[in-house]
Amino acid sequence: MRVLFAAPDALWPAWAPALMRLAPEMELVRADDAVDPARIDAIIFAPGGSLDDLSPFVNARLVQSLWAGVERIVTNPTLTQPLARMVDPGLARGMAEYCTGWALRAHLGMDRYAQDGEWRNGLTPPLACDRQVTILGMGELGRSVAAMLDGIGFPVSGFSASGRPVPGVRVFGPDDLDRALAAAEILIALLPDTPQTRGLLDADRLARLPQGAWLINPGRGTVLDDEAVLAALDSGHLGHAVLDVFRAEPLPRDHPFWSHPRVTVTPHIAAETRVETAAPVAVENLRRAMSGQPVLYLVDRDKGY
């Protein structure tokens, strides 16, 4: 099979050897190679490369994204091929560890204990079983985060548009967002970027959270109304916000998130696609597409993910 690697040049040195080692039958070519587009069987894609027009690749059976989020390709009007998002077990593990680490920091009140000589022994936190965590978005990442938090002992609730059940998690459906928020002493947002989720956490919905709740957002920056988050922090209704994703990245130096005492900014590092765990997923899907088997993690164009 002839596969076009349509991704930033910086990814080639790591991805090309891994893919060809796993699939020696693959001929992997780059966007700048002089190859007839009609002879391309599949495309491996990541935003930031030189390829935008997918229309010449009339015989490509699959576009395999290297990213979990596909909002920067699913809206491309030249995309007519089936599109699969990346579900990388390494990425899911990384996201679970990030969310668990910050949830524990919120739960244990680690920031309370300033090293200033004052003995604050009246600030003992409750046990995890007494602290409610709610996850917005119960896809692959949300389920991984829920499993890790449940293993520590946190009662975990989830919200998803489908309302599909998840073992060990109380799942709220699309009509129960307010109830999901009302239970969230720690709120973790892992929603995709879609027209339905943009600006979802506005002033009205943030007001539904319990007093002093923590917000952890490693999903998509578009889910937040930035001004509403700042207002909720200033009023004290929101205790702290840990933000890893933003509407504009890198986050501009003059953005008030940088200087707010109740905001922790991390530079989009919550989870990363790891070649060693993601390459087998890509190869499996390429082989499925070539043999006419069902493709894994196929994107629903109408939903956008």
Which pLDDT value is given to residue 34?
A: 81
Q: pLDDT category, 304, cuts 50, 70, 90?
A: confident
Is it the case that residue 123 has pLDDT exceeding 90?
Answer: no
Q: CB of 166 within 8 A of CB of 143?
A: yes
- Catalytic residue of the set 61, 107, 220, 240: 220
Which pLDDT value is given to residue 302?
A: 84
* pLDDT average, residue stretch 148-161: 97
CA distance 181 to 223: 14
Is it the case that residue 5 has pLDDT exceeding 90?
Answer: yes
ω into 250 cis (within 30 of 0): yes
105 in catalytic set: no
Is it the case that residue 301 has pLDDT exceeding 90?
Answer: no
Q: CB of 202 within 8 A of CB of 228?
A: yes
Q: pLDDT category, 138, cuts 50, 70, 90?
A: very high
- Catalytic residue of the set 30, 93, 237, 268: 268
Tokens of 21: 């080692």
Tokens of 101: 């680490």
Phi-psi region of 208 (alpha: psi -120 to 50; beta: other; left: phi over 0): alpha
179 in catalytic set: no
Is it the case that residue 32 has pLDDT exceeding 90?
Answer: no
Which pLDDT value is given to residue 206?
A: 98
CA distance 20 to 227: 47
Nearest CA to 2 out of 26, 34, 32 is that of 26
SS (H, E, C) 207-268: CCCCCCEEEEECCCHHHECHHHHHHHHHHCCEEEEEECCCCCCCCCCCCCCCCCCCEEECCC
- Using a cut of 0.85, tell me whether the model's pTM lies above it: yes
CA distance 267 to 250: 7
* pLDDT average, residue stretch 81-102: 97
Per-chain mean pLDDT for the chain:
96
Tokens of 261: 């005492």
Q: pLDDT category, 155, cuts 50, 70, 90?
A: very high
What sign does the CA torsion over 236, 242, 245, 246 have? positive
Q: pLDDT category, 228, cuts 50, 70, 90?
A: very high
Alpha helix segments (H runs only) across the chain: 12-22, 71-74, 89-108, 140-152, 177-182, 203-206, 226-235, 275-291
Which pLDDT value is given to residue 303?
A: 85
Residue 88, Cβ neighbours under 10 Å: how many? 27
- Residue 292, Cβ density class (10 Å: 0-12 exposed, 13-18 middle, ≥19 buried): exposed
* pLDDT average, residue stretch 55-77: 95
Which pLDDT value is given to residue 31?
A: 84
Which pLDDT value is given to residue 267?
A: 98
